[in-house]
Structure 1
Amino acid sequence: MTLCLTYDLVVSWDAELTALTSRIADRLFKRPEPKATFGDLVRGLLADVPRKNSWQLADHLGHATANPITWLLSRAAWDADALRDEVRAYVLQHLGRPDGVLIADDTQAIKKGDKSVGVARQYCGLTGQVENCQVMPMLTYASAAGHAFINRRLYLPEGWATDLERRQVAGVPEPIEFATKPQQVIDMLAEELQAGTPFRYLAADSGYGRDPALRAYCHAQQISYVMAVPVDLPLMAVRGGSEPAGHVLDRLLAQANAQVWERRSCGQGTKGARAYDWAAVAVKLAGQRPAEGHTHTLLLRRSISHPTDVEFFLAHARIGTPVPELIAVAGLRWKIEENNETGKDLLGLTDYQVRTWVGWHRHVTTAMLALAFLAVSRARLDDPVPGEHGTSTALSADQGKDHLPQERAG
């Protein structure tokens, strides 16, 4: 798509942003000063500022000091969860579809020292090694119209959760207890169900797909999902007992039957269609039954250029769901990676200088609003007439057979 950037288009974006921030500020704040600072902060996050901490944002915005921004993030009276609800409502108003997909993943903010809430030596997916960082489980909403964050959590390691002095200094609310990252995703899913968020699937990487409690919650709530899983995921063996998911791959390779695999795209990447060889096997999980009317399918994704590189996905979907639909959901998982990248590189998602629980939630949620504005603006460029988005879905897949060949197991 070629975009013709005109003066009128830029003016319309400015007017829409002003209307959005003013409407939300009127609901969040009683006094005019924080209302104005909130609008300035969102504009600053969207601006071309090298590092979007309070001082550089203040300098860009023409503030004499960073005090208005630091006051807004740390000490002013307002509710970050109320802003989160506004972000969700805005995203769903413009991007919501009945076949939307919720995508869970965590991202990290590398920090110095030990004062920032939740910071600890822990695994950092950004570098692939242990770093001094904060871990942030995030939830993205994706549909054919676009994708943006709609929920967030800050992971509180056990060392923080049990340290009363550190909790008090960082302002961690008393009811907050230690929770694993998958449990935090469960909590966010519960909030989305309560809010009536329209979605058809949950997608996530193996850090979440391996968690039996998250899978059990989805089964109990009849939530369909496609989550990456480890090679040792326990499955019911054909002759009883259990076996790791990797044995399914061994059987497929032993068949030496090329028709077991089918080449399909799981979505568009920066270099075009992301094509892989796929196989689908009906399976039963050891110790876990699917929801009524649902079944489990193990998807195997094999690299075309490196055939020994195989990734496993567990799908939980209604009986009769076409396999290409499950493949499309597996491909959508990368949308949250795009949100993480955009949030960090362009919108200052992790550029905050705040150290407290309240400050973290306020900054991150405001950055979520800035990302949502970008996503909605892009959707309007692709679909300039509201309501004429038709019936295209985020789950579209390649043309061809509705089902891949499937081996029955268990």
Structure 2
Amino acid sequence: MLPHMDPAGGLYWIIDDTGFPKKGKHSVGVARQYCGQLGKQDNCQVAVSLSVATEDASLPVSYRLYLPREWSDDPARRRKAGVPEEIEFSTKPEIATGQLREARQSGAPDGIVLADAGCGDDTSFREAVSELGLQYAVGIRSNTRVWARLLSLPSPPRGNRAGRVACCGARRDMSRSEIKDLASTLDASCYRNVIWREGTCAALSSRFAVVRVRASHRDYWRSTLRDEEWLLIEWPEGDPEPLKYWLSTLPPDTTLERMVHVAKMRWRIAAYIARRLQRCPLCSAPKIYLLTQ
């Protein structure tokens, strides 16, 4: 089917995790964990998927069941359920990284990697995507720290007991802050209303701003700061605080409209999953994931 998908408007590799509510405790991977279908913690199975999408279609190319530690670290439970010995515990970002590597090795056409904060917050995941030669636009949480040029100057660096500088590579014209604080320092003129697509009843739009930043994570182990990338902020008019944040390695000359359009393309997989769950009984959906790792 991939050859028949038109990539003219862009190609995307979309990472998603889907929860399937379950009763009992014997289905492989079932545990009390966050279930997106229910919007809360509950008894469910969770699968991580990779889909290839265009403006008009999406195709799942990899599914894998997430095995929580209470399963992976319980030999008796594994044997009873028939979990293969070679299956070890992996975090969801680690599963997603493996799926991306497999897709790359299989010759799948390159796409921009999209993921929510479950993966986007993971520095190792973002680094792995870049190492694969792929661009990304991934969700991050509001307490993510970044270096930017827009805040007050940083305090003088302090060395730790090992003699390392606490903020290696920091420049005097940059300071580090949580992105929610950075968002609040931006002038109102930095935010613009952007329409990203036509919805069922009306155009979908919101207020957005973009800033060039450098992600901050364990900087004391580094001699230089990380590469510059985009921070995209969505702050709807009238809301007391921003709604969403993304980090993206799209090119420096990317327009705000293009940035928003790309970040919002995860709706394609959400729509696909909703249609699939309408057509298939929930009780049978996890079996698909178990058969295709």
Give ranges in structure 1 of 5+ residues lacking alignment. 1-89, 366-410
**Bigger-Rg structure (1/2):** 1
Give ranges in structure 2 of 5+ residues lacking alignment. 155-166, 168-175, 220-224
2:40 aligned residue (109, 114, 129): 129
2:5: which partner in 1?
Answer: 95
Matched residue of 1:203: which SS?
strand
1:138: which partner in 2?
Answer: 49
2:123 aligned residue (207, 212, 233): 212
Pick closer, same or farther for the CA change 1:282–1:120 going to 2, 3 Å: same
Alignment of 1:316-355 (within 5 A): 316-348=249-281, 350-352=282-284
1:3: which partner in 2?
Answer: none
Q: Which amino acid aligns with 1:110?
A: P
Matched residue of 1:303: which SS?
coil
The percentage of aligned residue pairs carrying the same residue is 29
Alignment of 1:262-281 (within 5 A): 262-281=192-211
Matched residue of 1:339: which SS?
helix
Question: Shift of residue 307 of structure 1?
Answer: 5.6
**CA offsets 1:25-78 (integer angstroms, 9 cap, x no match):** xxxxxxxxxxxxxxxxxxxxxxxxxxxxxxxxxxxxxxxxxxxxxxxxxxxxxx
TM-score for both structures, normalised by structure 2: 0.82
Cα-Cα RMSD: 2.2
Alignment of 1:229-244 (within 5 A): 229-238=140-149, 239-240=153-154, 241=167, 242-244=176-178
Runs of at least 4 residues of structure 1 off by over 4 A?
A: none
Pick closer, same or farther for the CA change 1:274–1:113 going to 2, 3 Å: same
Tell me the number of residue pairs that the alignment of Structure 1 and Structure 2 aligns. 262
Pick closer, same or farther for the CA change 1:353–1:146 going to 2, 3 Å: closer
TM-score for both structures, normalised by structure 1: 0.60
Question: Shift of residue 237 of structure 1?
Answer: 4.7
Q: Is the 8 A contact 2:13 2:51 kept in 1?
A: yes
Matched, 1:153 2:64: yes
Q: Is the 8 A contact 1:186 1:217 kept in 2?
A: yes
Q: Is the 8 A contact 1:149 1:339 kept in 2?
A: no
Per residue, is there more strand in 1 or in 2?
Answer: 2
Pick closer, same or farther for the CA change 1:249–1:166 going to 2, 3 Å: same
Matched residue of 2:99: which SS?
helix
| Whole-Å separation in 2 of the counterparts to 1:344 and 1:360 | 14
Q: Which amino acid aligns with 2:70?
A: G
2:173: which partner in 1?
Answer: none
1:247: which partner in 2?
Answer: 181
Q: Is the 8 A contact 1:229 1:314 kept in 2?
A: yes
Matched, 1:223 2:134: yes
Per residue, is there more helix in 1 or in 2?
Answer: 1
Pick closer, same or farther for the CA change 1:353–1:312 going to 2, 3 Å: closer
Pick closer, same or farther for the CA change 1:94–1:115 going to 2, 3 Å: same
Instruction: Using the TM superposition, name which of 298-307 and 190-199 deviates more.
Output: 298-307
Q: Is the 8 A contact 2:20 2:286 kept in 1?
A: no
1:289 aligned residue (192, 216, 226): 226
2:190: which partner in 1?
Answer: 260
Matched residue of 1:174: which SS?
coil
